[in-house]
């Protein structure tokens, strides 16, 4: 392992955004070059200047290109001069709130507010009216300053029903510049990418060539030499507009590597070493198969994607052909409140889009994380969505399919009736197998029958739906020798008979990661499925299949009948208490004892994982007591204040 050096305290402004601290770390380790990664100082021209002064190589573009293109305001001016299509908006910095209101009124709502120096969704907000604009400008400025040390903003028209499509460009020091296959990054939450794929299932070859040519034209205009990404927004008629350029390597670069066969980090290092880029435009643009990336975040979608820091008690990555997992954690690692909540990137590739998606489904089904809440169930559900599979999606995909009060709760994620019965059959099989291990005589003979009741609770948790189930051993003629040897069962559900047996691992999966105690690999009616035990609960279990979860109870009919009459466990009344939805730092407390509050007013602001989150009032009233103060680190569900 290469030597490591402590860059400073956890807050980014004191460490990873502290140029002196980074330079000191470089000198301590004896490094001759710095690869800046994805964020922090990766697009900071002042950092590049300092490295040049110290005689240290920066693995990236020159400071002049970063200044020109890394600033979103200046990049729009350059793009317009270079003949690129530009989104309507004000090409300049927003001076203050009155200026923001004036610009938005001229452009027309909705508008997008952006941090000029930023990326990754930080300092980015949508305002649909004047009232929202006033609030979002304040939040965006604070978020941008925290993440990038620069609170300059710009405002542009928000394009609805848009696709977010970007092009990787690579250029050397000798004027040779090429574009690579595009990435479609339209599935987003909070303006941050969640799923990316290449090539886009939406654009035509003609549009691809035109967009790629504009990307090269922009980068060439500033003498760019390294990898970079030119981002476009594309409307439903395939009209495309320049969005911004990221003068660094992107998080999602493995997708491009998979379809192009080019190692982008290797190219960055070669170019930084003053080598020529020995790749023709024809070779660079060639598309070989398809690839998909899913970002795994430590966050809780059911709490509006609130960060979920904590300890990774269980961490098991999937393995298999065409599966790549990039991560910087292991079992036992801590997900900190100070940095981005990304845990890992799952990248799958195949000869076709369908094969890449099938491998992604298998990988997410077998990826087990416990100790923190992640977005994996949600991402898995997105991948299974018929419109996503058909390539019919845009940046409104998540709000469209997962909107509403319970839309982001895994217990509400959709399953077809047949898929839900597959899950029920798998749960019954698991229950019966456990009983047979404890009692060898249980369901041991061909004529033995087990009668059970499977009950499942709806998303609101206020009622149980009971189903009568009959179980017996499956015959040779139905499941074959393999099934009989694996203890196959015939499970009679109210509307279907399922034949189920266990597999040690899914077909085509090998290695030590193929099986663990949190997974159940089964053959249901000749189809292999994988379910996860998401959580054990009193008298039952929460099972997960295709990302969707269901709260299940499997009991004897007599026990189930009694359960129907048992009162639900009452919860202490807390309707007057406002609790923190996440772990983070309380950066603003906007109310005090006696404050009058209206519905929707901001109460406090919590910063977690480089994002600022305003906690709003869900009622009108007066504040009785405030339990925390500015600067406190609060945990999820910690009481913050209460109303009279």
Q: What positions carry a catalytic annotation?
A: 248
HEC letters along 342-389? EEEEEEEEECCHHHHHHHHHHHHHHCEEECCCCCHHHHHHHHHCHHHH
Q: Helices 130-148 and 97-107 sit at what angle, rounded to 10 degrees?
A: 120
Query: Cβ(335)–Cβ(370) under 8 Å?
Result: no
Q: How far apart are CA 485 and CA 473, in angstroms?
A: 11
Query: Cβ(373)–Cβ(341) under 8 Å?
Result: no
Query: Cβ(385)–Cβ(401) under 8 Å?
Result: yes
Residues 6+ apart with CB under 8 A from 270: 277
Q: How far apart are CA 551 and CA 465, in angstroms?
A: 11
| Backbone φ/ψ region at 568: left (φ over 0), alpha (ψ -120 to 50), beta | beta
Counting Cβ atoms within 10 Å, is residue 233 exposed (0-12), middle (13-18) or buried (19+)?
A: buried
Per-residue DSSP letters for 34-56?
A: E---SSTTTT-HHHHHHHHHHT-
* Nearest 10 degrees: Cα torsion 547, 548, 551, 553: -90
Structure tokens given for 582: 């996440």
Angle at 292 between CA 287 and CA 294, to 5 degrees: 155
Per-residue DSSP letters for 263-322?
A: -HHHHHHHHHTT------HHHHH---SEEEEEEEESEEGGGTSEE--EE-SEEE----TT
Per-residue DSSP letters for 414-448?
A: ---HHHHHHHHHHHHHHHHHHHHHH-TTTT-STT-
Closest CA to 369 of 412, 434, 325: 325
Q: How far apart are CA 339 and CA 358, in angstroms?
A: 31
Q: How far apart are CA 608 and CA 336, in angstroms?
A: 9
């Amino acid at each position: 392992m290469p030597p490591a050096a402590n860059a400073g305290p956890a807050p980014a402004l004191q460490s990873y955004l502290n140029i002196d601290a980074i330079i000191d770390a470089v000198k301590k380790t004896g490094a001759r070059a710095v690869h800046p990664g994805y964020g922090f100082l990766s697009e900071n021209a002042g950092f590049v200047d300092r490295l040049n002064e110290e005689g240290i190589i920066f693995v990236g573009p020159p400071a002049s290109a970063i200044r020109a293109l890394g600033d979103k305001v200046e990049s729009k001016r350059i793009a317009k001069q270079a003949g690129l299509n530009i989104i309507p908006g004000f090409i300049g910095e927003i001076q203050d709130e009155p200026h923001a209101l004036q610009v938005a009124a001229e452009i027309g709502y909705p508008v997008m507010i952006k941090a000029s120096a930023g990326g990754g969704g930080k300092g980015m907000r949508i305002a649909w009216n004047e009232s929202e604009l006033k609030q979002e400008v304040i939040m965006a400025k604070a978020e941008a300053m925290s993440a990038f040390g620069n609170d300059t903003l710009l405002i542009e028209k928000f394009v609805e029903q848009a696709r977010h499509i970007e092009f990787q460009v690579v250029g050397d020091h000798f004027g040779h510049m090429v574009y690579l296959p595009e990435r479609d990054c339209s599935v987003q939450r909070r303006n941050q990418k969640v799923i990316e794929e290449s090539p886009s299932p939406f654009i035509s070859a003609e549009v691809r060539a035109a967009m790629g040519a504009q990307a090269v034209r922009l980068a060439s205009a500033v003498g760019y030499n390294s990898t970079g990404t030119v981002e476009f927004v594309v409307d439903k008629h395939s009209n495309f507009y320049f969005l911004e350029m990221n003068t660094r390597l992107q998080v999602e670069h493995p997708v491009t590597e998979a379809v192009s066969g080019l190692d982008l980090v290797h190219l960055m290092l070669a170019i930084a070493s003053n080598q020529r880029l020995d790749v023709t435009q024809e070779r660079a643009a060639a598309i070989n198969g398809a690839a998909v990336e899913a970002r795994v975040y430590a966050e809780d979608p059911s709490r509006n994607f609130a960060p979920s820091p904590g300890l990774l008690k269980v961490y098991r990555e999937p393995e298999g052909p065409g599966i790549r997992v990039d991560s910087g954690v292991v079992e036992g690692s801590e997900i900190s409140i100070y940095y981005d909540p990304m845990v890992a990137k799952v990248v799958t590739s195949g000869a076709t889009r369908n094969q890449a998606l099938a491998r992604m489904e298998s990988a997410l089904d077998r990826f087990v994380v416990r100790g923190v809440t992640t977005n994996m169930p949600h991402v898995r559900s997105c991948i299974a969505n018929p419109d996503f599979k058909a390539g019919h999606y845009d940046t409104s995909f998540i709000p469209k399919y997962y909107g509403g009060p319970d839309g982001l709760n895994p217990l509400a994620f959709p399953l077809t009736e047949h898929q839900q019965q597959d899950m029920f059959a798998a749960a019954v099989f698991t229950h019966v197998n456990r009983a047979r291990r404890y009692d060898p005589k249980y369901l041991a003979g061909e004529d033995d029958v087990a009668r059970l009741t499977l009950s499942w609770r709806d998303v609101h948790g206020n009622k149980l739906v009971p189903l009568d189930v009959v179980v017996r051993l499956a015959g040779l003629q139905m499941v074959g020798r393999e099934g009989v040897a694996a203890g196959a069962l015939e499970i009679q559900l109210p509307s279907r008979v399922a034949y189920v047996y266990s597999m040690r691992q899914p077909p085509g999966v090998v290695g030590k990661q193929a099986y663990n105690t949190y997974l159940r690999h089964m053959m249901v009616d000749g189809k292999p499925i994988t379910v996860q035990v998401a959580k054990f609960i009193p008298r039952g279990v929460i099972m997960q299949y295709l990302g969707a979860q269901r709260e299940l109870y499997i009991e004897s009919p007599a026990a189930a009948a009694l359960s129907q009459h048992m009162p639900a466990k009452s919860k202490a009344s807390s309707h007057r208490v406002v609790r923190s939805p996440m772990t983070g730092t309380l950066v603003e407390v906007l109310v005090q004892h006696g404050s009058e509050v209206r519905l929707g007013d901001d109460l406090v602001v919590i910063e977690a994982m480089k994002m600022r989150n305003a906690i709003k009032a869900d009622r009108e009233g007066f504040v009785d007591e405030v339990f925390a103060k500015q600067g406190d680190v609060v945990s999820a569900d910690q009481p913050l204040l209460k109303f009279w």
